[in-house]
Amino acid sequence: MSNSPTLHFHGSATIAGTSIFDPLDLDIAAAKWTCLLGASGVGKTTILRLLAGLGDHIDHVGSIKISDGQPLAGRISLMAQTDNLMPWLDVFDNIVIGNRLRGDAVDGDRAEKLIAQVGLAAHRHKKPNALSGGQRQRVALARTLMEGRPIVLLDEPFSALDAKIRAEMQELAAGLFAGKTVCLITHDPGEAARLGDIIFVMNSTGLHSVTPPSSPVIRPYDAPDVLACQGQLLRLLRETP
């Protein structure tokens, strides 16, 4: 997927007169996982909403630029902490909801293939209420892939899952999003250490780049350099304001 662009975010943000963060620069590199790690309330989600075009209520002074110069709209998909599945639609219909919402034709074969890829072939006709938390996020993952967009914004998508399912989902997502420009927002140092090609810690003083482990993603959770990186990230989170 060579058409995945790099994103450059610049600027500060204010919501209803309250400053969320001071001017900062964030590069989200093409076809890589950029992890943005930070405590709650430092403005991670604000950056993500601005990138996603959902920043109506945010005063953003600055710019969002894309390496290939084309407009951002229509090239982004978003996966949030809540799966936002429609409880009245079954797995298949939830995955193709984007096509329905745009009035596009639905590529049923592609959807079926994605359902199989996320391991839900046996659950194709179930509605979200009949699925487990992990299965629901798998549906959200397939829905994101169905959109076929080169840029993927992930807003703590695995944070509500238990540790075992979370590790499985990280591996699945790393494989399926390969080649896309991914921006992952997380408050889990372990997740950043496993998944980040590029890692930033965000706090009230701005963005701080952290060198990720040298091995390629997705990294084993118990490798010494991954654990060391996780420890370093947690230290940064705790010891900076």
Partner 1 sequence: MMRALRIIGVTIFILSLWHLLVVLTGLPAFILPSPARVGMALVGNLELIAHHASVTMAEVMIGLLLGAVLGVITAISLAQSPVARVVVRPMMVLSQALPVFALAPVLTLWLGYGLWPKIIMALLIIYFPVTSAFFDGLMQTPRGMLDQARVMQARPWQIMRHIRIPAAIPALASGLRLAAVYAPIGAIIGEWVGASQGLGYLMLLANGRAKIDLMFAALIVLAVLTLLLHASVDRLCSYVVRRQQA
Applying CB under 8 A, the residues found at the interface with partner 1 are 52-54, 73-74, 76-78, 80, 82, 84, 86-88, 97-98, 100-103, 127, 129-130, 147
Rounded to the nearest 5°, which phi and psi values hold at 171?
-65, -45
Q: Which helix (H) or strand (E) holds 93?
A: helix 91-95
CB of 55 to partner 1, least distance (A): 11
Q: For residues 199 and 35, is the Cβ–Cβ distance under 8 A?
A: yes
Which of 23-62 are b and which e, b meaning 16 or more Cβ less than 10 Å from the residue's Cβ? ebebbbbbbbbbbbbbeeebbbbbbbbbbbeebeebebee
Of 52 and 169, nearer to partner 1 (C-beta) is 52
Residues 6+ apart with CB under 8 A from 237: 37, 38, 39, 189, 201, 203
> Is the distance from CB of 121 to CB of 115 less than 8 angstroms?
yes
Q: How far is the CB of 80 from partner 1 (least distance, A)?
A: 6
Q: Which is nearer to partner 1, 41 or 53 (CB)?
A: 53
Neighbours of 196 (CB within 10 A): 25
103 or 224: CB nearest partner 1: 103
Nearer to partner 1, 51 or 207 (CB): 51
Choose between 130 and 228: whose C-beta lies nearer to partner 1: 130
Q: How far is the CB of 9 from partner 1 (least distance, A)?
A: 17
Question: Of the candidates 142, 158, 167, which has an alpha carbon nearest to the alpha carbon of residue 219?
Answer: 167
Picking from 235, 185, 207, the residue whose alpha carbon sits closest to that of residue 33 is 185
- Minimum distance of partner 1 from residue 155's CB (angstroms): 10
Q: What's the closest the beta carbon of residue 233 comes to partner 1, in angstroms?
A: 28
Q: Of the two residues 86 and 228, which places its CB atom closer to partner 1 in the complex?
A: 86
Q: How far is the CB of 15 from partner 1 (least distance, A)?
A: 15
